[in-house]
Amino acid sequence: MFVPPAVAGDHLYVGSCAGVMYCLDRKTGAVKWKYDISQDGGQSFHGNMLIDGDWILVGTDVGLNVEKGGHIYSFNLSTGAVRWKYPAGKGVSTDLLQAGSHVFGVAETGREETVVGLDRNTGKEIWKVALPLPEGKKLVINKSPALLGERLYYGAADGKLYAFATATGEKSVIKDFGAPIITPIVTHEDFLYFGTEAGKLYRVNQANGEIAGEFALNGRPYQPVVIRASEAAIALFVNWMKTDGELLVLDADLKNVRWRAAPPAARMWILARPLVWKNLLLSGTDDGQIIGFNLHDGKLTWSQRLEGAVRTFMSHDGICYIGTIEGKIFALSKCE
């Protein structure tokens, strides 16, 4: 598993790396319905799902040597019936974002990363813009765009930060950063945050494109997240899935390191992204530990151990749902 489950009502929605979408009873784990995406050529789920009324929208993708079969789906929450599916080449591994009647994602299509806007009720393509992948570069999994106001922002493998009008897809280049942008964009106040292959984390003013902060990392950035707007902090992994990796927390202006945490000796951080839960920042290891650090000082405050390599976490109504690379979901009680 790569994607945290989503909850709607009494049900848990899970997209597995074995290519099956499940609806489970969230209190018992009983299967209510499932949909095997291999019937459409898909293989896996890597982007966060979007609950939209009675529907759940999710992107799917395929393996390295397959050119098509990925889709964006809209499933009925109760029955699993497919309302629509949008063919998306190698697929969509990004989170899906919603603004008004549109839903947005980024597809890998041949040698391009293609930003698409669809009607969320019909799956009809409203606009799409293809950005050629530079020679030798490939699309990074789960590199999501971000919405701010009426613009969709995306950091491309060509090193440019792009903005798209959500209504029309009209494209503008905010700035060229000279190295492939390899992380999702996240937003805090009027600023965009992202990392590049050159090991830099940037803070960019969305209004004028000026660099308002930058931080040189000790390696490759992965999955920055905003730790609640009120905390004014950014967390990310550096050298994710490596034994020399770390979980790093910076002030939102990128001037100071608040704290950093290495994984346990000889282990790796492998949680799909740092996650905020209560007053904790969570990470997970390849030997079955999920660890919660105090948001403010990085003190190890909570942990759990289970079988497998911890990839996902989600909490709802006193139950924690922890997913592993091997594909198991563990439901943990008294998780308030």
Partner 1 sequence: MKPSKLASIVSMLAAFQILTPQIAAQTNPGQKFLWTFDTKG
CB atoms within 10 A of CB 98: 14
Residue with tokens 């690379």: 325
- Rg of the Cα atoms in the chain: 19
Residue 33 CA neighbour count, 13 Å, CB half: 9
Which of residues 13, 22, 202, 222 is near partner 1 by CB under 8 A? 22
Calpha distance 257→235 (Å, rounded):
10
Q: Report the nearest approach of partner 1 to the CB of residue 11 (Å).
A: 13
Is position 16 an interface residue for partner 1 (rule: CB under 8 A)? yes
Number of residues that bind partner 1 (CB under 8 A): 33
Is position 39 an interface residue for partner 1 (rule: CB under 8 A)? no
Which of residues 6, 8, 44, 71 is near partner 1 by CB under 8 A? 44
Which of residues 129, 140, 163, 329 is near partner 1 by CB under 8 A? 329
Which backbone phi and psi does 214 adopt, to 5 degrees? Answer: -150, 155
Distances (CA, A) of 94 to 28, 144, 183, 184, 254: 29, 5, 11, 9, 25
The nearer residue to partner 1, 127 or 313, going by C-beta atoms, is 313
Q: Report the nearest approach of partner 1 to the CB of residue 114 (Å).
A: 26
The nearer residue to partner 1, 196 or 312, going by C-beta atoms, is 312
The region of 62-70, 115-123, 269-277, 323-331 touching partner 1 under the rule CB under 8 A is 323-331
Which of residues 17, 148, 167, 212 is near partner 1 by CB under 8 A? 17
Among 312, 310, 311, 304, residue whose Cα is nearest residue 333 = 304
Positive or negative, the CA dihedral 9, 11, 14, 19 is negative
The region of 230-238, 241-249, 278-286, 325-333 touching partner 1 under the rule CB under 8 A is 325-333
The nearer residue to partner 1, 22 or 55, going by C-beta atoms, is 22
Q: Please list the residues that pair with 127 across neighbouring strands.
A: 117
Calpha distance 145→171 (Å, rounded):
14
Q: Report the nearest approach of partner 1 to the CB of residue 194 (Å).
A: 29
Among 100, 140, 93, residue whose Cα is nearest residue 117 = 100
Is position 328 an interface residue for partner 1 (rule: CB under 8 A)? yes
The nearer residue to partner 1, 60 or 166, going by C-beta atoms, is 60
The region of 54-62, 188-196, 200-208, 322-330 touching partner 1 under the rule CB under 8 A is 322-330
Write the DSSP string, 213-242.
Answer: EEEE-SS-EEEEEE-HHHHTEEEEEESTTS
The region of 9-17, 112-120, 166-174, 186-194 touching partner 1 under the rule CB under 8 A is 9-17
Is position 278 an interface residue for partner 1 (rule: CB under 8 A)? no
CB atoms within 10 A of CB 7: 17
Q: Which residues bind partner 1 (CB under 8 A)?
A: 1, 14, 16-20, 22, 24, 27-31, 44, 288, 302-307, 319-320, 327-335
